[in-house]
Amino acid sequence: MSNGSFPPEPGRRGGTLAIVLAALIPACFAGWLLWSSLGDAKDDGADGVGAPTTSSTSSPSPPSSGVPAVPSPPTPSGNASGKRSGGPSGKPLEGKVVVIDPGHNPHNRDHPSQIARLVDIGTDEKECDTTGTATNSGYAEASFTLDVARRARTLLEARGATVRFTQDGDRPYGPCVDERAEIGNKAHADAVVSVHADGAAAGERGFHVILPKSVRGGGADTSAITAPSRRLGERLRSRFAKATGSEPAQYIGDGSGLNVRGDLGGLNLSTVPKVFIECGNMRDSRDTAELTDAAWRERAADGVAQGITDFLNE
């Protein structure tokens, strides 16, 4: 004490250090929390799987030029060549007009005098219409033709075609054969198919397609339609055989399934491609078993519709 200084207070240096450390530790911990939260904010992956990793040494992205990116032109619809199928909807028969002529009429039998009157078929005169044939059990050809025609209409319309009938069971009789031809002509049909079933002798089986003969006389002139009608008939023959499993009739012509005739007003007076199809023989028990079966008639309609489709897509 002789020099006047005070001796150090016991424990003073250790207490000061403790105070400094107590102040620094919370500050450091807060700083670490802030750094950690900023680092987490850089990862925008929802769960970290597949999230891009950013290197701290990567070059910064170049500044935007301000010019918006030009989108790539859309790929044209259609097939690989870019050619569209059918019309705007892509349906194969869009824009096509098809007339289906269900042979005879279920009500013809109630109007014998009207259907017996003669009409001009260009090269001759023939009855307005007939009752058609029937199976031994009484299933009428006119009922068969309407059923197949309606089924074919459904299939063709689904492909985009406009389908018109010469009659839909909604007329008292007919129409007459000359009017049937006129309906297709006025519609400017791309194809006309008249649906029938034959009434040949028992034991004769199969189907056949009737083609127009080249005739000219009176109001008949088939010179412009014989070639396209043959193509229509050939497509129909092929598709009908495939759809139904039926064989071409051997009792008609040369057994090819194609028969050319010049005595049918529905063909003679047509100015558009037209054929008849005799789907089977209603007087044969084995053919009758098929003609009276709804599932077989659906296959027959599919054959008719596909034959028309093939022809119109040539």
The tokens 């309407």 sit on which residue?
146
Q: Is 298 a catalytic residue?
A: no
Q: Which residue among 234, 278, 290, 298 is the active-site one?
A: 278
160 DSSP 8-state letter: T
Rounded-to-integer distance, Cα 94 and Cα 163, Å: 11
The answer to whether 240 and 277 have CB atoms below 8 angstroms apart is: yes
- Strand spans (E) along 262-313: 274-281
C-beta atoms surrounding 124 within 10 Å: 15
The CA dihedral of 294, 296, 300, 301, to the nearest 10 degrees, is: 30
Dihedral sign (CA 23, 25, 27, 30): negative
At 55, the amino acid letter reads: S
Please calculate the CA angle 150-272-211 and round it to the nearest 5 degrees: 80
Q: Which residues are catalytic?
A: 278
